[in-house]
Structure 1
Amino acid sequence: MDLKELTTLLRECAGVGEGVDLDGDVLDVPFDELGYDSLAILQVAGVIEREHRIQLSDDTVAEASTPRVLLECVNACLPATAGAA
Protein backbone atom coordinates (compact mmCIF):
# COMPACT_ATOMS: atom_id res chain seq x y z
CA MET A 1 0.00 0.00 0.00
CA ASP A 2 1.31 3.45 -0.79
CA LEU A 3 0.62 7.02 0.33
CA LYS A 4 -1.60 7.74 -2.67
CA GLU A 5 -3.94 4.86 -1.78
CA LEU A 6 -4.00 5.94 1.88
CA THR A 7 -4.80 9.58 1.08
CA THR A 8 -7.57 8.43 -1.28
CA LEU A 9 -9.09 6.40 1.55
CA LEU A 10 -8.76 9.31 3.97
CA ARG A 11 -10.62 11.55 1.53
CA GLU A 12 -13.35 8.97 0.89
CA CYS A 13 -13.88 7.96 4.52
CA ALA A 14 -13.37 11.21 6.40
CA GLY A 15 -13.08 14.05 3.91
CA VAL A 16 -10.41 16.74 3.90
CA GLY A 17 -10.25 19.77 6.13
CA GLU A 18 -9.75 23.27 4.80
CA GLY A 19 -6.10 24.15 4.35
CA VAL A 20 -4.99 20.50 4.27
CA ASP A 21 -3.01 19.40 1.22
CA LEU A 22 -2.97 15.61 1.19
CA ASP A 23 -1.11 15.73 -2.11
CA GLY A 24 1.89 17.31 -0.39
CA ASP A 25 4.58 15.67 1.75
CA VAL A 26 2.36 14.39 4.56
CA LEU A 27 4.10 11.12 5.46
CA ASP A 28 5.36 12.44 8.78
CA VAL A 29 2.58 14.91 9.59
CA PRO A 30 0.52 13.73 12.59
CA PHE A 31 -3.02 12.72 11.69
CA ASP A 32 -4.45 15.26 14.14
CA GLU A 33 -2.62 18.06 12.31
CA LEU A 34 -4.18 16.77 9.08
CA GLY A 35 -7.61 17.02 10.71
CA TYR A 36 -8.21 13.32 11.38
CA ASP A 37 -9.17 12.05 14.82
CA SER A 38 -8.82 8.50 16.10
CA LEU A 39 -12.33 7.57 14.94
CA ALA A 40 -11.50 8.60 11.36
CA ILE A 41 -8.30 6.55 11.44
CA LEU A 42 -10.17 3.51 12.79
CA GLN A 43 -12.69 3.86 9.97
CA VAL A 44 -9.89 4.02 7.38
CA ALA A 45 -8.17 1.04 9.02
CA GLY A 46 -11.41 -0.96 8.74
CA VAL A 47 -11.58 -0.28 5.01
CA ILE A 48 -7.91 -1.23 4.61
CA GLU A 49 -8.54 -4.48 6.48
CA ARG A 50 -11.50 -5.38 4.25
CA GLU A 51 -9.84 -4.39 0.98
CA HIS A 52 -6.51 -6.08 1.71
CA ARG A 53 -7.87 -8.95 3.82
CA ILE A 54 -5.54 -8.25 6.71
CA GLN A 55 -6.05 -7.76 10.44
CA LEU A 56 -4.59 -4.75 12.24
CA SER A 57 -4.69 -4.72 16.02
CA ASP A 58 -6.55 -1.86 17.69
CA ASP A 59 -3.33 -0.95 19.54
CA THR A 60 -1.39 -0.76 16.28
CA VAL A 61 -3.97 1.53 14.71
CA ALA A 62 -4.18 3.69 17.84
CA GLU A 63 -0.40 4.10 17.94
CA ALA A 64 -0.14 4.99 14.23
CA SER A 65 0.14 8.73 14.64
CA THR A 66 1.29 9.55 11.09
CA PRO A 67 0.61 8.20 7.60
CA ARG A 68 4.16 6.73 7.51
CA VAL A 69 3.58 4.69 10.67
CA LEU A 70 0.18 3.45 9.49
CA LEU A 71 1.58 2.48 6.09
CA GLU A 72 4.47 0.62 7.73
CA CYS A 73 2.00 -1.35 9.87
CA VAL A 74 -0.23 -2.16 6.91
CA ASN A 75 2.64 -3.13 4.64
CA ALA A 76 4.16 -5.35 7.36
CA CYS A 77 0.92 -7.36 7.32
CA LEU A 78 0.62 -7.64 3.54
CA PRO A 79 3.44 -10.11 2.74
CA ALA A 80 1.99 -12.70 5.11
CA THR A 81 -1.33 -12.67 3.25
CA ALA A 82 -0.30 -11.75 -0.29
CA GLY A 83 1.26 -15.06 -1.30
CA ALA A 84 4.25 -15.56 -3.57
CA ALA A 85 4.19 -14.20 -7.10
Structure 2
Amino acid sequence: MLRRLYARVGDRITLVGVGGVENAEDAWQRILAGATLVQGYSAFIYEGPFWGRAMHKGLAARLRTSPYASLADAVGADVRTTA
Protein backbone atom coordinates (compact mmCIF):
# COMPACT_ATOMS: atom_id res chain seq x y z
CA MET A 1 0.00 0.00 0.00
CA LEU A 2 2.83 2.40 0.81
CA ARG A 3 4.37 1.92 -2.62
CA ARG A 4 1.09 2.66 -4.33
CA LEU A 5 0.46 5.77 -2.23
CA TYR A 6 3.98 7.07 -2.66
CA ALA A 7 3.76 6.54 -6.42
CA ARG A 8 0.70 8.80 -6.49
CA VAL A 9 1.63 11.51 -3.98
CA GLY A 10 5.43 11.39 -3.79
CA ASP A 11 6.79 13.56 -1.03
CA ARG A 12 3.85 15.99 -1.02
CA ILE A 13 2.46 14.36 2.14
CA THR A 14 3.95 12.42 5.01
CA LEU A 15 3.29 8.68 4.87
CA VAL A 16 3.51 6.62 8.04
CA GLY A 17 4.40 2.92 7.91
CA VAL A 18 2.44 1.05 10.59
CA GLY A 19 1.70 -2.54 11.46
CA GLY A 20 4.15 -5.40 11.67
CA VAL A 21 7.21 -3.26 12.33
CA GLU A 22 9.25 -5.46 14.64
CA ASN A 23 12.84 -4.77 13.64
CA ALA A 24 15.09 -2.49 11.62
CA GLU A 25 14.63 -4.51 8.42
CA ASP A 26 10.85 -4.09 8.64
CA ALA A 27 11.31 -0.34 9.09
CA TRP A 28 13.85 -0.19 6.25
CA GLN A 29 11.44 -1.87 3.84
CA ARG A 30 8.74 0.65 4.70
CA ILE A 31 11.14 3.55 4.24
CA LEU A 32 12.13 2.28 0.80
CA ALA A 33 8.43 1.93 -0.02
CA GLY A 34 7.81 5.60 0.81
CA ALA A 35 7.26 5.94 4.56
CA THR A 36 8.70 9.09 6.07
CA LEU A 37 7.75 7.91 9.56
CA VAL A 38 7.52 4.37 10.94
CA GLN A 39 5.46 3.36 13.96
CA GLY A 40 6.57 0.40 16.03
CA TYR A 41 4.08 0.46 18.88
CA SER A 42 3.42 -3.25 19.51
CA ALA A 43 7.07 -4.22 19.17
CA PHE A 44 8.00 -1.53 21.69
CA ILE A 45 5.38 -2.84 24.14
CA TYR A 46 6.54 -6.47 23.82
CA GLU A 47 10.28 -5.88 23.46
CA GLY A 48 10.63 -3.15 26.07
CA PRO A 49 12.40 0.18 26.26
CA PHE A 50 15.61 -1.02 24.60
CA TRP A 51 13.73 -1.80 21.38
CA GLY A 52 14.22 1.79 20.22
CA ARG A 53 17.96 1.55 20.64
CA ALA A 54 18.08 -1.73 18.72
CA MET A 55 15.98 -0.15 15.96
CA HIS A 56 18.28 2.85 15.75
CA LYS A 57 21.42 0.70 15.61
CA GLY A 58 19.88 -1.59 12.99
CA LEU A 59 18.76 1.27 10.76
CA ALA A 60 22.14 2.98 11.09
CA ALA A 61 23.91 -0.23 10.06
CA ARG A 62 21.52 -0.73 7.14
CA LEU A 63 22.04 2.86 6.00
CA ARG A 64 25.84 2.48 6.10
CA THR A 65 25.66 -0.46 3.68
CA SER A 66 23.20 1.28 1.36
CA PRO A 67 23.86 3.70 -1.49
CA TYR A 68 21.95 6.47 0.33
CA ALA A 69 23.55 9.32 2.27
CA SER A 70 20.60 9.64 4.67
CA LEU A 71 17.29 8.02 5.53
CA ALA A 72 15.57 10.92 3.77
CA ASP A 73 17.34 9.89 0.55
CA ALA A 74 16.06 6.33 0.98
CA VAL A 75 12.38 7.32 1.37
CA GLY A 76 10.52 5.98 -1.65
CA ALA A 77 13.67 4.69 -3.37
CA ASP A 78 12.00 1.41 -4.41
CA VAL A 79 9.18 3.33 -6.08
CA ARG A 80 11.48 5.81 -7.81
CA THR A 81 13.65 3.07 -9.29
CA THR A 82 10.72 1.06 -10.67
CA ALA A 83 8.82 4.04 -12.06
**TM-score > 0.5 by shorter chain:** no
TM (normalized to structure 1)? Answer: 0.31
TM (normalized to structure 2)? Answer: 0.31
